[in-house]
Amino acid sequence: MKKIHQKDYQNSYNSIFVNLMKQPKKQMSDTLFKNINIVGKVSNKKNTTIYLIVAFISIIAIDFCSSYTNLFNNKLRVSSVDPPIPPKSIKEPDHQSKVFLSPIISDTNFVANVVTKVQPAVVEIKVIRTIKTQTYEKSNYPFLQDVFGKVSIKSKKKIERGLGSGFVINPNGQILTNAHVVENADTVKVSFLDGRTFDGKVLGIDPVTDIAVVQIPGTNLPFVKPGNSDFVQPGQWAIAIGNPLGFQRTVTAGIISGIGRSARYLHLSDSYVGIIQTDAAINPGSSGGPLLNVRGEVIGVNSALIPNAQGLGFAIPINIAQKIAQELITKGKVEHPYLGIKVQPNNNSNIFGIRQRGVIINKVVPGSLAEKAGLRVKDAIQEINNQPVNTVDEVLRLIEKNRVGSNLQIQLQRQGQNLQIAVRLEPLPTSSE
């Protein structure tokens, strides 16, 4: 066997470590022992022991450096991609809850901002009206009952006080409110948030839409900016301000829960008015107050509630209210178009059992232009101005869209024949008429 020089096996050990570093960590130990065993056979024990100790120390150092490097790289990778997640056991400081319980200057939201902006233009309206009543009393003298009748009629006067809300629509002191708030009022008192009180004058009322305008003296008054009620959608925020049950300047908030509700179904009008429905609380005394959007623009005039329901309030769309208010300001009254007929849904079916389209005329007002034009009871109206109609509200809406004096082209069926009749719209008769 050839004798190996000291320098040769030292070079062998060097080559062992070079090859060792190229292998995976888990294979280092096996490779190292294998090579040391080979070298140990051709070298003395003393040198083998020294190199063995050095080898073990090298493995430990390599393992430590490799683990530390991987840990450092993992931390860099986590911090660059995902933020560290705090442990769930961390407890909130005790003083944290006290911050939320204590009001601070910045503790406001969009509702508070709207109230701050609009409330100076919202007013409280107090009215006094005289109500005349008649009582029927039996005669105390039976022998006079044969001559003068069994009962006598006596008139009495009753003083009634009412409370409502309203809001200024221009700096010249014109106030929009409900007709039922100021109807038949002897005196009207208007109060502002800052304590100012004015005597109001009713410029006009429109019982059909329940809109009225009150004038107070003054200039440069705060007023509410109108929105566009045609773009109101269910689900959007709504804020109501008024004086319900005498609680002045009450603010409620909710959402628009419905649009286009029938005023006829709610017994507010015999004409078509697409009412806004909201779950913002509206109570007696809130009538006439504004319904607002998140920008503080008025989108409706709070008008009615259903007594036995919860979360159902109704407002007249501001686009309709503004139109009515302008006529009341300029003319003192409003002329609504009137056709002179009453209709009901067509519940008749054809031979296949399919419900027939259109509405049925169940009354023609005597002396009306509809009677003069030739409309008859049991006529089935199918179209008005080339637009199909199948409900009472659709008929009312098409009538309301036209002006007094304009003609409607009505397509109908009468005893199986198709007819077309032109009817001129006349003004809606007043209650006295």
Catalytic residues: 180, 210, 287
Integer Cα distance of 183 and 303 in angstroms: 14
Q: Which two tokens stand for residue 323?
A: 């139109």
Encode 364-378: b = buried (16+ Cβ within 10 Å), e = exposed: beeebbbeebebeee
DSSP label at residue 323: H
Q: Where are the beta strands (DSSP E) in 297-376?
A: 298-305, 313-317, 337-338, 341-345, 359-364
Is the distance from CB of 280 to CB of 239 less than 8 angstroms? yes
* Beta carbons within 8 Å of 420's beta carbon, 6+ residues apart: 409, 410, 411, 412
Query: Token pair 């003296």 is at which residue?
Result: 217
CA angle 21, 22, 28 (to 5 degrees): 55
| Closest listed residue to residue 164, CA positions, set 151, 152, 182, 187 | 182
Q: Which two tokens stand for residue 186?
A: 């002897």
| Closest listed residue to residue 273, CA positions, set 288, 262, 289 | 262
Q: What amino acid is encoded at 405 in this protein?
A: G
Is the distance from CB of 124 to CB of 165 less than 8 angstroms? yes
Q: Which two tokens stand for residue 336?
A: 């609504």
Residue 362: Cβ within 10 Å count:
12
Integer angstrom CA distances of residue 7 from 2, 48, 216: 14, 14, 117
